Amino acid sequence: MSMPGFIDTDILTPEEKRMVALERAAELKDRIADYLAVRDSIPSGFGLADRIAVCKGRVISVLGATAADWEDWRWQMRNRISSIELLAQATDVPAADLDEINRVAERYRWAVSPYYAALCAAAGPGSAVWRQAVPSPEELRDCGGSLDPMAEELTSPAPGITRRYPDRLIINVTNICAMYCRHCQRRRNIGEVDRHQPRWVLQAALDYIRANPEIRDVLVTGGDALLLSDKEIDWILGELDAIPHVEVKRLGTRTPVTLPQRITEELCTVLSKYPPVYINTQFNHPLEVTEEAARACDRLVRAGVVLGNQAVLLRNVNNDPFVMRKLNQELLKIRVRPYYLFHAKDVRGTGHFVTSVEEGLHIMDQLRGYTSGMAVPTYIINAPGGYGKTPVTPAYLLDKKPGRITLRTWEKRIIAYPVKVGAKEEKA
């Protein structure tokens, strides 16, 4: 679609200008009609609140718990569901799937927090949350891929460290998660035993950071960084805060999504001591944006934490432009800024989640302009071999010539745009 030309507003009367504006408003309204027609049919955690509450009661009953137990994150961790028999009592697992899930469990560990099991029960088998939580026989058929697609073992210059960039690095502090997501990029680290990194590893990682003054940004992750105790989190953040060249502390966690009970007032008191603290979490579908998740995020925001979301593009979970649009809009409502949309890594056993790059680009094309720029993440492909995040965008710059570039707008209008000639070109 090409633009017929710019309108010279100086020659229009006020009435003519208003007519142009009304025509444009009608055109814009028409552009969003297809999304509005399906928006309310896309399930969300807020929309399923009553159903989730019923399923929460079912899970509490199966586990012989109380409402007070449910709010205790340590109880949630002690009672992660990792047997198919218990899952079948708590949710409506199809009988035909029971043996298949057990076969997958022989190769790949799984566990689901009671909280997230209630979401699975509410949404049902095959739903977006179910596919992230419950083992699938597809995992056994996905024999390709790599155990370590980002070559993390080749980018670890010190114990507990992953370094892929000049001024920032990761400290891996634990292999523990509230839920072992079926698309996990680090499933090789899960093992069969939950363990935090020993203190000597953390000390070695901190010593490496102290010895390299170019490191200004440290991400503490795992596993899930917030599954350390409050005391240990306090110690790590305190040690990082005392290093003069460390300007930013980040925590990688999915607990607001899979275990919002972990976000206690006590934890938030610890986090508030060490600004700036950034937390990136991973909401992948609007079903995960629940009332409990919203309360957890509210506590974090009130503690001064800056929240971002790093979604993963997953086949049959969120590889739909309208699902992704609703997800990002729901996240902004709970003050979580969409940050990255990761192309799924080809981790062994997870190939059934991987989409085409074209799908990702189509989704991005249906976000830019169709919703707030705050709701548009950056689409990222991790370069093989540990060479870092590479942004991938639809083509908006079509041509470049001296004095002019050609743009493709979000509506696919082709527009010539005059630009100043560079200093070197002027001299020539």
Report the distance separating Cα 313 and Cα 307, nearest Å: 19
Domains in the chain, CATH or no CATH each: 49-134 (no CATH), 152-391 (3.20.20.70), 397-427 (no CATH)
Tell me what the mean pLDDT of segment 412-422 comes to.
88
Compute the radius of gyration of the chain from its Cα atoms. Answer: 24
Rounded to an integer, what distance in angstroms lies between the CA atom of residue 374 and that of residue 360? 18
Residue 131: band (very low, low, confident or very high) from pLDDT cuts 50, 70, 90: very high
Q: Is it the case that residue 337 has pLDDT exceeding 60?
A: yes
Say whether pLDDT at 136 is over 70: yes
pTM of the model: 0.93
Binning pLDDT at 50, 70 and 90, where does residue 426 land?
very low
State the pLDDT at residue 302.
Answer: 98
Q: Report the alpha-carbon distance of residue 17 to residue 98 in Å, rounded.
A: 66
End-to-end CA, the chain: 36
Provide the mean pLDDT of the chain. Answer: 93
DSSP line for 3-62:
------GGGS-HHHHHHHHHHHHHHHHHHTHHHHHHHTTS--TTTTHHHHHHHHHHHHHH
pLDDT tens-place string over residues 31-69: 999 999 999 999 999 999 999 999 999 999 999 999 999
Task: Give the β-pairing of 217-221 and 168-172.
Answer: parallel
Closest CA to 195 of 216, 221, 174, 210: 174
**232 has pLDDT over 90:** yes
Q: Are 74 and 264 in contact (CB under 8 A)?
A: no
Q: Which residues contact 85 (CB under 8 A, 6 or more apart)?
A: none
271-326 pLDDT, tens per residue? 999 999 999 999 999 999 999 999 999 999 999 999 999 999 999 999 999 999 99
CA distance 325 to 50: 24
